Amino acid sequence: MSLTPPPRWTTEEFKEQCEQARQIFRTRRLNESRGLYSETFVKCLHLVKELLEKTDGLSQVAAISADEEAPGPDLFETLTDTDLLETLRYVIGPPISADDLAELADTSLAPRVLFEDTEASIRVAETVIQGLDPIRFPWVGQSRQPGHSELDAAALATAALMATRRVETARRMQSKEQEEAVKSCLREAGVNEVEPRTVSPGLLNAPEPGEFCRKAKFGTRKADLIVRLHDGRCMPIECKVSNSSTNSVKRLNNDAAAKASTWIEEFGSGATVPSAVLAGIFKTLNLEQAQAQHLTTFWAHNLDPLTSFIRCTEQST
């Protein structure tokens, strides 16, 4: 049986696809300020103002921390409201993650725990006040009421921090969106999804031809997707998003291409087609180097070549 070779791209083809991916990246980022960030900022500003109102400018949080008294109804509501508790993390300078707050306060941040355990709620309040940003909230340390201009300035600054972090999180989710797009492409090519499983050299426990599974170990390295081509070969796929040419070396050459070399060594070139679906900024030179390491590349903005290759493997059976 003659196996269909995976696509290999010329320098000019790499340059063309790189430019298309770069333009898509630029458009998406430039639109964030007018769209996603603006919308997120408005939502965050509403939450910050609600937090300051419910806690009397954070004075209730400071009072609980100092007196170790049971939180009042408003503070209980704040601590057990997921959005408001997230907002509370951003009054700390610099803001901290939920995991860090839980560790520093030595408690779970689950609403039920904070509602039922007064001491846990007090520890959260103590942690917040100990880390409170004195530049944005000077009145708390000075035990006075804030002026309207101080409240407005603190709310704007805190909302900006919170909105920025939320947008950054949304950016990181792009790889998840990319993975879902690849899965849709696979289904369109007639490949069915099955449960994840570890695939060992010799293709032991691999999906059947015409099947794929999501994130699982392929040999000694994990792949975002493992596709069993119709001709019996396995195609582990990595979904990579890069926001700079420097970052592309890490995402592409040091990760995806390095995995490709490992998989070829473990499974053999006749049994596996290591691949990557790319989005964002990449350098042509890095792409050529990755291709030389047996990594087959596709682009998130044009998955037709991936579909065509999979269908060709069915014709060669």
Alpha carbons within 13 A on the beta-carbon side of 2: 4
Burial class of residue 230 in the structure, from the number of CB atoms within 10 Å of its CB (0-12 exposed, 13-18 middle, 19+ buried):
buried
| Residue with tokens 């430039």, as numbered in its chain | 30
d(CA 79, CA 124): 9
Q: Hunting for tokens 């195609």 — which residue is that? A: 235
CA 202 vs CA 151, 227, 268, 270, 286: distances in Å? 65, 15, 9, 11, 30
Residue 48 pLDDT: 97
Asked if pLDDT for residue 68 goes beyond 70, the answer is: no
Structure confidence by residue, pLDDT tens digits, 166-214: 988 887 777 788 999 999 999 999 999 999 999 999 999 999 999 999 9
Over residues 259-274, the mean pLDDT reads 95
pTM across the whole model = 0.76
Cα atoms in the 13 Å half-sphere on the side-chain side of 192:
5
Give the per-residue pLDDT at 170: 81
- Mean pLDDT value across residues 289-313: 95
Q: Using an 8 Å Cβ cutoff, are 41 and 163 in contact?
A: yes
CA distance 210 to 206: 11
pLDDT above 90 covers a percentage of the chain that reads 77
Closest CA to 279 of 243, 227, 247, 245: 243
Asked if 54 and 77 touch (Cβ cutoff 8 Å), the reply is yes
Lowest mean pLDDT among 51-65, 153-167, 188-202: 51-65
Domains of the chain, CATH where assigned:
11-30+174-315 (3.40.1350), 35-172 (no CATH)
- The whole-chain average pLDDT of the chain stands at 92
Task: Find out whether 87 and 48 touch, Cβ atoms under 8 Å.
Answer: yes
Token pair 């570890």 is found at 198
The mean per-residue pLDDT over the stretch 122-126 comes to 92
d(CA 159, CA 55): 17
Three-state DSSP state, 57: coil
Per-residue pLDDT, 146 = 95
Of the pLDDT bands very low, low, confident and very high (cuts 50, 70, 90), residue 316 is low
- Give residue 258's pLDDT: 95
Which structure tokens are listed for 177? 């969106």
Return the pLDDT at 64: 82
Q: In sequence order, what are the residues at sequence separation of 6 or more whose Cβ sits closer than 8 angstroms to the Cβ of residue 96?
A: 89, 104, 131
